[in-house]
Amino acid sequence: STPTTTAIIDLDLPGPTISRHVYGHFAEHLGRCIYGGFWVGEDSDIPNERGLRSDVVDALRAIRIPNLRWPGGCFADDYHWRDGIGPRDQRPRMVNSHWGDVVEDNSFGTHEFMDLCEMLGADPYISGNVGSGTVQEMSEWVEYLTRGDDSPMAALRRANGRYEPWKVPFWGLGNEAWGCGGNMRVETFSALARQYATYARNHGGNELYRIAAGADTADYHWTETLMRSFGDLAADPAAPVAPFQALSLHYYTMSGDWADKGSATEFTVDEWYTTLARAHRMHELLTRHSTVMDRYDPHRKVGLVVDEWGTWWNVEPGTNPGFLYQQNTLRDALVASVHFDAFHAHADRVVMTNIAQTVNVLQAMILTDPDSGALVLTPTYHVFEMNTGHHDADALAVHLRDVPTLTAAGRELPLVSASASTTGDTALISLSNLDAESGRTVLLDLRGRHVIGHSARILGAEGLGAHNTPDRPSDVAPRAHDGVRPSERGLEVDLPAHSYVTVALELA
Ligand code: AHR
């Protein structure tokens, strides 16, 4: 018989709310993310509205994209926003030195991005330039975007065709300041973050949530130094946090190393486990960064924003190495589900995350064919779609018993990963079977509420490297799962090898 794992869930004990912003996105001027991905221009044969691909917008609306980070990444600290406003044919050009050394014509700029966010129904998260910009430049960008009267920048915006100010809730202060964003020491950056944050002002009713460029992976010293820069956060639990409100964290998953990251589609069972063990590391990273933050901020007022995460593979053979285009398999889907389980478990500190990146770059939701323009939804897209029920729901703790583990990449990897949430009259349970070879039954021991209905969906495929292409767009796509049975304590759920299952409950 199939081995059983038990998952105990107290449906009547809701925890912190999982912000919908945990399901956020990231679009950089990199390869074919913006150009060819989101933006095709008004004259394109590809159906578009004001130059923005309609199929991409529709697909992202379907997963209720909550926010979009732009213009980078490393590109953000090279970007000067005034180059991207005014008539498109008169905009100055620049070199995108980080990504392929190509010439950027700035045809996609502030107005195009804000138009995109409005079409998507997503909140903009703009990454301001600290590395090569000035305090005045950033300050004026905020004014341009958000000010309503006849100030100089509001007048310039109006001259460029937009009368009403936009709402911009999220503002980044630099990106990877320890690397491409200026190669700074954290002491230097802490001082700059305070200075830039001061001049990134709230105008009218627009209140910015300012996010300072945070640590890479396990750089706890970076987090600690930024936290120390706040002064006394413990004294008054009600006092607002200033001058910035959150720190970021970046962490990428690969099976190899930075020199040879591994293939997206051709991998061994060992590489499967190495990848998932490294994805599972997100639990440890969040616990340890949060512990550092707790020391300075016991009331948990400062947010942690994981604004870059996901898989980073060797580029698809034959594509530009600077464009970071990669395929996306069932393995990527499980990397995403494991990350979401970690984010849900830390919902009290993790206020937002942004997968890198949304279209045609790294762990994308959407791939578009450069020749035919055909659009493919990736296995990762489907995890985002299957998890929409977690948006703004209250986290439920999942206590797992009898979970097999193995050691990969020097880490212990539990082969079942799970999380759950409730909205009051519904609950959603996410279950990942990371075992490459064996199926498993999970006994859901559901306590505290009456379950009056259930349904389940599954994302799986025969091969570990299964993926979608324009010719075979649905090799990895969710379907109804009939492997669920009522049991004395709740429900029994069959998890085939390497599969992702969501169980939706109706509660009395
Ligand atoms: O997402 C690709 C790049 O990865 C980003 O530009 C940078 O911030 C990170 O190193």
Per-residue model confidence as pLDDT tens digits over 113-142: 999 999 999 999 999 999 999 999 999 999
By most ligand atoms within 8 Å of CB, the mutation choice from 34, 176, 253, 254 for ligand 1 is 176
For residue 2, what pLDDT is reported?
76
Give the H/E segment covering residue 367. strand 366-368
pLDDT in tens, 246-284: 999 999 999 999 999 999 999 999 999 999 999 999 999
C-alpha 72 – ligand 1 centre gap (Å): 7
Test site for ligand 1: of 34, 211, 217, 250, most ligand atoms within 8 A of the Cβ: 250
Per-residue model confidence as pLDDT tens digits over 409-440: 999 999 999 999 999 999 999 999 999 999 99
308 CA: nearest ligand 1 atom: 1
Q: How buried is 3 (Cβ within 10 angstroms: 0-12 exposed, 13-18 middle, 19+ buried)?
A: exposed
pLDDT at 491: 97
**Does domain 4-10+396-507 match CATH 1.10.10.10?**
no
**Residue in this structure with the two tokens 């045609």, named with its chain if needed:** 360
For residue 155, pLDDT over 90 is answered with yes
Contacts with 182 (C-beta within 8 Å, 6 or more apart), sequence order: 77, 130, 131, 132, 174, 189
Å from CA of 73 to ligand 1 middle: 5
Residue 239 has pLDDT above 80, yes or no: yes
Residue nearest to atom 5 of ligand 1 (CA): 73
For domain 20-391, the CATH superfamily is Glycosidases (3.20.20.80)
Distance (angstroms) between ligand 1 centre and the Cα of 66 equals: 21
The closest residue, in CA terms, to atom 6 on ligand 1 is: 73
Q: Can you tell me which atom of ligand 1 is nearest the CA of 76?
A: 6
Q: Which of 308, 385, 412, 506 is catalytic?
A: 308
As for ligand 1, residues whose beta carbon falls within 6 Å of it are 28, 72-74, 175-176, 308, 356-357, 362
- What is the model's pLDDT at position 332? 98
pLDDT on residue 400: 98
Q: Return the percentage of the chain with pLDDT > 90, whole number.
A: 99
pTM above 0.80, yes or no: yes
Instruction: Name which residue sits closest to atom 4 of ligand 1, judged by CA.
Output: 73
pLDDT at 429: 98
Identify the burial level of 161 via C-beta atoms within 10 angstroms of its C-beta, where 0-12 means exposed, 13-18 middle and 19 or more buried.
exposed
Q: What are the residue ranges of helices labelled H in 200-302?
A: 220-228, 269-296
Active site residue 385: no
Alpha helices (H) in 147-303, listed in sequence order:
152-159, 186-199, 220-228, 269-296
Residue 3 has pLDDT above 80, yes or no: no
Residue nearest to atom 1 of ligand 1 (CA): 356
pLDDT at 322: 98
Q: Give the position, in ligand 1's atom list, of the atom nearest the Cα of 75.
A: 6
**pLDDT tens readout for residues 87-108:** 999 999 999 999 999 999 999 9
**Element housing 336 (H / E):** helix 330-345
**Any idea where the domains of the chain sit in the sequence?**
4-10+396-507, 20-391
pLDDT at residue 352 above 70? yes
Structure tokens at 78: 């090279």
Q: Exposure of 23 by Cβ count < 10 A (0-12 exposed, 13-18 middle, 19+ buried)? A: buried
User: Mean pLDDT, the chain, as a whole number?
Assistant: 97
- Mean pLDDT of the region 56-66: 98
- In angstroms, rounded to a whole number, what is the distance separating the alpha carbons of residues 444 and 432? 14
pLDDT band at 231 (very low <50, low <70, confident <90, very high): confident
On the question of pLDDT at 374 being above 80, the answer is yes
pLDDT-derived band at 1 (thresholds 50, 70, 90) equals low
